[in-house]
């Protein structure tokens, strides 16, 4: 069988969800399934194209519901899971037992793992670390700004690669690695290191610029990046250098 998984693109939770569902599907449905992956992004109107559902089974993980007859499996945890009331009613009328929503779950990855265990008696202990980090990252449950800026953990390093990667084929490779290897081994691989090194270099260069240009006053840190060619930055950097502030203006 061919399984098509549509996942939230450039998102650690979306990629993790795709990996977890892949392992579940191969264990519970078809061990020899050929799996294809399609990243999905938020856009106005319908988030999907009919031709994307080209598998014998089609799954959406960590993204909006689609009332298409080709959709077999669905897992999401977002409040914005439905584009319209009719989409929600379509979901509520479904009796197939393969479409699930829990807006209280911090991550879709942990939600898939929970449903797989509770309803299909499937659990994989090798995914425990990945599930824990998806919970932390997507729930923004970090210990401190330092944890997010220093990026010491393999999960946070991999998050940087996933969020910045423009080649879906490379992200597909990451998903496959997540089904086969622990996070430390993935990040230590040559493929990830080649992507990570320039990302980390730019990260610390950006941090240095923000440190130099930022000033804090009455609970607000402000800085101007005009002329620096910096297009984006880790939102925790200002709090890393000014831990007592509440707001950032840049």
Residue 209: burial class (beta carbons within 10 Å; 0-12, 13-18, 19+): middle
pLDDT of residue 50: 81
Check: CB of residue 138 under 8 Å from CB of residue 108.
Answer: yes
pLDDT of residue 44: 62
pLDDT of residue 242: 97
pLDDT of residue 48: 80
DSSP lists the bridge partners of residue 217 as 220
Question: According to the 3-state scheme, what is the secondary structure of 136-169?
Answer: HHHCCCCCCHHHHHHCCCHHHHHHHHHHHCCCHH
Kindly give the parts of the chain with pLDDT less than 50: none
Query: Starting from the edge strand earliest in sequence, which strands make up the sheet with 247-249, in order?
Result: 215-217, 220-222, 247-249
Q: How far apart are CA 163 and CA 34, in angstroms?
A: 26
Interstrand relation of 215-217 and 220-222 (parallel, antiparallel or unpaired): antiparallel
pLDDT of residue 45: 63
Check: CB of residue 12 under 8 Å from CB of residue 155.
Answer: yes
Check: CB of residue 67 under 8 Å from CB of residue 54.
Answer: no
pLDDT of residue 148: 95
Residue 77: burial class (beta carbons within 10 Å; 0-12, 13-18, 19+): buried
pLDDT of residue 46: 66
The separation between the first and the last C-alpha atoms of the chain, rounded to the nearest angstrom, is 51
Of 70, 19, 10, the closest CA to residue 40 belongs to: 10
Average pLDDT, the chain: 96
Check: CB of residue 162 under 8 Å from CB of residue 250.
Answer: no
Q: How far apart are CA 41 and CA 47, in angstroms?
A: 7
Interstrand relation of 220-222 and 247-249 (parallel, antiparallel or unpaired): parallel
pLDDT of residue 220: 98
């Amino acid at each position: 069988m061919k399984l098509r998984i549509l996942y939230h693109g450039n998102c650690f939770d979306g990629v993790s969800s795709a990996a977890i569902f892949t392992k579940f599907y191969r264990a519970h449905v078809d061990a020899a399934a050929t799996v294809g992956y399609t990243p999905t992004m938020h856009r106005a109107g319908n988030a999907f194209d009919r031709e994307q559902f080209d598998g014998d089974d089609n799954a959406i993980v960590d993204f909006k519901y689609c009332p298409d007859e080709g959709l077999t499996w669905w897992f999401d945890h977002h409040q914005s899971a439905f584009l319209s009331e009719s989409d929600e009613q379509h979901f509520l009328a479904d009796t197939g037992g393969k479409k699930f929503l829990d807006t209280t779950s911090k991550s879709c990855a942990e939600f898939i793992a929970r449903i797989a265990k509770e309803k299909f008696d499937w659990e994989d202990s090798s995914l425990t670390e990945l599930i824990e980090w998806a919970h932390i990252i997507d729930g923004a449950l970090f210990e401190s700004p330092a944890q997010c800026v220093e990026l010491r953990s393999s999960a946070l390093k991999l998050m940087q690669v996933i969020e910045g990667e423009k080649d879906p084929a490379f992200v597909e490779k990451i998903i496959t690695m997540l089904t086969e290897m622990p996070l430390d081994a993935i990040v230590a691989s040559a493929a990830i290191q080649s992507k990570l090194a320039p990302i980390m270099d730019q990260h610390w260069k950006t941090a240095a610029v923000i440190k130099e240009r930022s000033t804090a006053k009455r609970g607000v840190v402000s800085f101007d990046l005009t002329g620096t060619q910096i297009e984006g930055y880790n939102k925790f950097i200002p709090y890393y250098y000014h831990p007592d502030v509440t707001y950032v203006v840049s």
